Each structure stands twice: as C-alpha cells, then as structure tokens.
Amino acid sequence: MPTRSVARKGARPLVPPALAATPSPVAKEPIGTVKVFDFFAGCGGASCGFREAGMEIAFALDWDSDAADTYSANFPSTMLVQDDIRNVSADDIYTLVDDCRPGFVLFCGCAPCQPFSQQNTIHPDDDDRVHLLSHFTEFVQRCLPDVVFLENVPGLQSFSDRLGPFGDFVCALEADGYHVDHRPIRLMRYGIPQTRRRLVLLASRHGPIELPARTNGPGTPKECYETVREWIGDLPRIEAGEQHSSMPNHQAARLSPRNLERIRSTPEGGGHASWPEHLKLECHARTSGYTDVYGRMHWDRPASALTTRCISYSNGRYGHPEQDRAISIREAACLQTFPRDFAFRGSSVAMARQIGNAVPVRLASIMGRHITSHLRRNLRQETDK
C-alpha cells in the first residue's frame, strides 16, 4: 500500500508560506484523466465508480482500519492515508493537489451519515461527527478543486433549524466561485436496486452544473427499475451460516433455531405478520412500525435501503427472497452495485458496515461520466473565449 507522510495540525506545513497563499489555478489544459481525492473513502464505493468512469484515484483518506484494508486490496496503486480527517493538514493536501496540476481534480467528500440519520440516537450537538464536513470544507477552500461531489443522507440538509454544516458548506462553495446543484434523489431512479434516498451535491468552477438526468423509471430510457433478481438471482445457493467454497464473500450469518422457524414461515416479500402466534414478538404487537424487520426481499422489486446491518435478518428486510437465510455479504455488495470481484476484508460485521456505509458504485460511475462530459463541454467554451 503506498504511503506518504501527512502532517497533523500544528506541524510545520510542507508548503512554503508564499506558495500557501496562492490558490490553485483553474485548469486550462486538455482534460486528460480527472484525478480524484476521496475523503471519507470507506471501503471504496465512490472510488470504484469514479474509476469505472475513467478517472484516476490519486488519494484516499479514511480512519477505519477494516475499511482501509479493503480499500488497499482493491486500489493498490492509490495513496491511502488511514487517519482522522481532523488530524490532516490542509497544506499537505494542497501539496498533493498541486502535484496533479495542470489537470482537473475532483474532491469527493462523503462524510459519515449517522449524525444526520433518522436512526441516530445521539443528539447532533453531542455528536462530534457533525463537524467533519467543516474539515472537508477547509480542504476545498484551500485547494480549490475543479469539481466537488458529496453524497449523504437527506437529513444532512435539514437536521438543524440553524444554517447547519450543509448550508455552511454550500455558502462556502458559492463564495469561492463554484456553481452548485444539490437535491435528494431516489437511488432506484439511477439504476441502483434500492429504494434508498440520498442527498447528492455537485459543484464546479467551470460553469453551471446540474445533477444528471434519471436513468430509470417512467419517462426515462429504461422505464423499469432494477430488481433484486437481476442483481443476485444467479448467485449460488448457500445455507444460513455457510460460506461458499469458490465465491469470495458469499457468506451468510447463522440463524438461531427460532429465527430459522420464523423465516421459513415468511413468504417472498413478507414479514412477521405472516408468522404463527407462537413466533411473534411482543414489540411487534404493540406498534404498527418495524414492518421491515425480519422481512424477506421481493425478487422483482428494488431492495429496501441497505444499512450497516444489512446481513442481519432481524434488522431490516434483509431475508433472502426464497432461501432460508439473510442475504450474504456478496449479495449485499451486489445490491450496492459493487463488481463481483471486489474483495472485502475484516469480520462479517465489519464488512457489512463497510457495504452499508458505501456510496453505490453505479451512482459514482454515473456522476463521474456526467462530470467528465461537463468538463469537456465547458473547457471548449472557455477555450473559445
């Protein structure tokens, strides 16, 4: 794994003061290969999609050791720094970006979404992860990349009645001359087999930019949404607690005898409402919520949102449509549109966390191609002036 020293805050910057005061110029060279700096990279979902789109992954940063092991296994030539973003100097990031000039640079900043999720039990004022986006903002302001991509939960946009970290981020971008577009999107409308909603932002220093047009659903080139069957229907059968002998990461969690009885009593697309009385839980009788827990997926619909517990039968609609088990690690990765040769590292719990936290690969691939087209189009316009 390539390594390079990245100074902690308070250390002597690697960039001379005179140079540090000069912002990076807007790239004017032929577009070539866009260089990606992936902050909060996780296991590499965004990097994988941008690589599919023809970009070069120049730098990645993440603090999680399991995610870093997965990332380095799949991106052996990328410089990976395993550290907290709060320990990294903006001047050192500037130095790395300056090494990529002339040319186009993309910053990807998909900060941890848990502080802004509806499932978060920690009050935002007490969660230090809320301020991670402000550290990414410092890097953007210092380095002025050509394009910025951000993906997070829609709650990032509205978790506070104050301006909040997202509003501050957008204001900072606009103050530095970026054109910004952002909105919540439904993943299934971009060819990803999930109903999950995400907030996506694109910002460019090269003229107005909009999010790409939807690819799936009514009024699009493909009117049908991608389904669970299309993405995992051909994977070999395994039992609960089994790991397939030849397909990497195709392993399913064990189920207790009681949960095996429960899933056997659940039809495709069904849930705990179909169980006989002796299998039901008291909490399900007391509330109309929790309709997805202990549920099976539908074969011919998109999956529900995959979370960090996406291989746990009791934590969502993660039961296989017909086999008596929860979906495997490989199946969860497929539903996040990872290629089947993408190798995950760590315990089962760690791999599920990486997959649930990842940017869907296809989303990043679509955004990457859209960004490249935007840069080519606007470079021609800038050259003609």
Q: Tell me the pLDDT tens digit for each residue of 187-217.
A: 999 999 999 999 999 999 999 999 999 999 9
Per-residue model confidence as pLDDT tens digits over 28-68? 456 689 999 999 999 999 999 999 999 999 999 999 999 99
Q: What confidence score (pLDDT) does residue 290 get?
A: 62
pLDDT at 158: 53
pLDDT value, residue 287: 58
Residue segments in the chain with a per-residue pLDDT below the cut of 70: 1-31, 113-130, 155-163, 284-290, 382-385
pLDDT at 343: 97
Tell me what pLDDT residue 292 has: 77
113, 156 in Cβ contact below 8 A? Answer: yes
Q: What is the pTM of this model?
A: 0.87
Segment (H or E) for 38: strand 35-39
DSSP letters along 107-142, please?
EEE----GGGSTT--S-GGG-GGGGHHHHHHHHHHH
pLDDT of residue 252: 98
- Please give the mean pLDDT across all residues of the chain: 87
**90-99 vs 132-143: helix crossing angle, rounded to 10:** 40
Give the position of tokens 């998909």: 110
Is 291:269 a contact under the CB 8 Å cutoff?
Answer: no
Cα diameter, the chain: 75
pLDDT of residue 239: 98
Token representation of residue 371: 């960004």
Catalytic residue among 48, 113, 143, 310: 113
Active site residue 113: yes
Residue 3 is predicted with a pLDDT of 43
